[in-house]
Structure 1
Amino acid sequence: MTTHSWPFIGSDAIANGRLRKHELRAKYRPLFPDIYVPNDAAPTLRQRAVAGWLWSHREGVIAGLTASALHGAKWVDDSSPVELVWSNARPPAGLRTFDMRLRAEEFECKHGLRLTTRERTAFDIGRRGTLDQAVARLDALGNATGLTIDDVLAVAAAHRGARGLRRLEKALQLYDPGAASPKETWLRLLAIRAGYPRPRTQIPLLSPDGRRRYYLDMGWENLMLALEYDGEQHRKDPVQYAYDIARSEDIAELGWSRVRVVKANSSADILRRLERAWRSRLCTDRKIG
């Protein structure tokens, strides 16, 4: 058994003579019943998805957040349970099964697996959890795939009466694939719920000398006011930090104001700063006009 050929079905490996029973017990551990990985392996979510699919006798369909990650969505925890459409009321630890029927057009073959399409995946993840969680998950999937609201509504139309449709409808009203992280989703929702017009995301800017292109997280172009979330990498990475300085100078020279948010800022503090910046830009706009 080569190191790259895992996860694998233990009973098949023994039956095919690729491993002896004592080798299987000594060098490998079961991730799911009869599905093995090397003892020292730290399987990724994709590898665990393969393991779950093998456990289902290669007949299950990867779904939910697992499918979202396989479609390219970021911010799905590698330790999340593998979600699988498969009839089994008592799945092993690390697996979450759903006994439901999928229409033929709602799943596809990708990465050598069967998984729900991006539209069906969005339909599922947008009906679960809190509204904010649903929006963040949809944003992440849309950022990776270009998913449109109409794509998801077409699936919903075929499943009238399904649980969570009202939550999905509300989540789609707030959906924006321009969000590059869950924190950006959170910040956008904070501004909208405070009564501000819906900001545009990923606003393109060209540096004053025309040599550098930037994208603002979100903002209001009529006021030239941006709202941005700075992650930890902006402070800890010296290369990123130097880039941020040059970027800030260029953006200021173009006449934009920014409210920059970090993890330590409270919602109340962010809204106070945004209100102050908003009023300042309104006054500037009136003077110019």
Structure 2
Amino acid sequence: MSTRSRLAAAIETYPSRVGRPLLRRALGLSSDHSRSRPESLVRVDLALSPLPTPLPNYELFLTIARRTVYFDLAYPEYKLELEYHGDQHRTDVRQWRSDVRRANDIGDEGWQTLQYTGDDLINLTAMRARVERRLRALGWNG
């Protein structure tokens, strides 16, 4: 794993490297705000598509629940959250209960949640189509 600053330093340190154009492209798509590989895969896929690029780890204060939540990926303009659920979200009872409460709290604020799992990462084309349908339903005209 690397950070944006380490990748930028590598590009500058090895300017004649064969893969430099690819490294520059990767730098443009990287984010120090991503917290997981699945989030990054979906975010980069969406960034390379005609769809808007979601914001990683978006912070939102929920006025009704009076607490702050962080969205894996968010489209604030459309009040759409993309949330990755690894297996611990279904096997840990406390995590599952917290997820249900969180989804209800977010819904109370007018946000929609599009949940995805590891199975969705197998077919990012289908995932992208689902995001596009949801964004269009929320007013995106792309």
Question: Shared fold by TM > 0.5?
Answer: yes
Distance 2:8 2:132 in 1: 35
Whether the aligned pair in 2 keeps the contact of 1:203 and 1:216 (CA below 8 Å) is yes
Distance 2:132 2:10 in 1: 40
| Higher relative contact order (CA closer than 8 Å, sequence separation 6+) | 2
Distance 2:12 2:130 in 1: 42
Whether the aligned pair in 1 keeps the contact of 2:61 and 2:67 (CA below 8 Å) is yes
Q: Write the letter of the residue equivalent to 1:166.
A: P
- Tell me what 1:273 maps to: 130
Distance 1:155 1:186 in 2: 22
Whether the aligned pair in 2 keeps the contact of 1:208 and 1:253 (CA below 8 Å) is no
Q: Write the letter of the residue equivalent to 2:100.
A: I
Matched, 1:282 2:126: no
Give 5+ residue unaligned stretches, structure 1.
1-136, 284-289
Q: Which runs of 4+ in 1 moved over 4 A?
A: none
Which of 86, 101, 107 is residue 231 of structure 1 equivalent to?
Answer: 86
Assess, with a 3 A threshold, how the Cα gap between structure 1 residues 268 and 167 changes in structure 2: closer, same or farther: closer
Distance 1:160 1:274 in 2: 38
Q: Matched residues, percent identical?
A: 26
- TM-score computed with the length of structure 1 as normaliser: 0.44
Matched, 1:179 2:34: yes
Could you list the per-position Cα deviations for residues 163-198 of structure 1 after superposition, in whole angstroms to 9, with x for gaps in the alignment?
Answer: 421221111010011111111111112222331122
Q: Write the letter of the residue equivalent to 2:39.
A: E
Structure with max Cα Rg: 1
Could you list the per-position Cα deviations for residues 37-73 of structure 1 after superposition, in whole angstroms to 9, with x for gaps in the alignment?
Answer: xxxxxxxxxxxxxxxxxxxxxxxxxxxxxxxxxxxxx
Matches within 5 A, 1:81-92: none
- Tell me what 1:18 maps to: none
Give 5+ residue unaligned stretches, structure 2.
none
Q: Say which structure is richer in helix.
A: 2
Distance 1:155 1:180 in 2: 22
- Tell me what 1:192 maps to: 47
Could you list the per-position Cα deviations for residues 133-157 of structure 1 after superposition, in whole angstroms to 9, with x for gaps in the alignment?
Answer: xxxx3xxx33xxxx54xx6435533
Q: Write the letter of the residue equivalent to 1:264.
A: D
Assess, with a 3 A threshold, how the Cα gap between structure 1 residues 189 and 155 changes in structure 2: closer, same or farther: closer
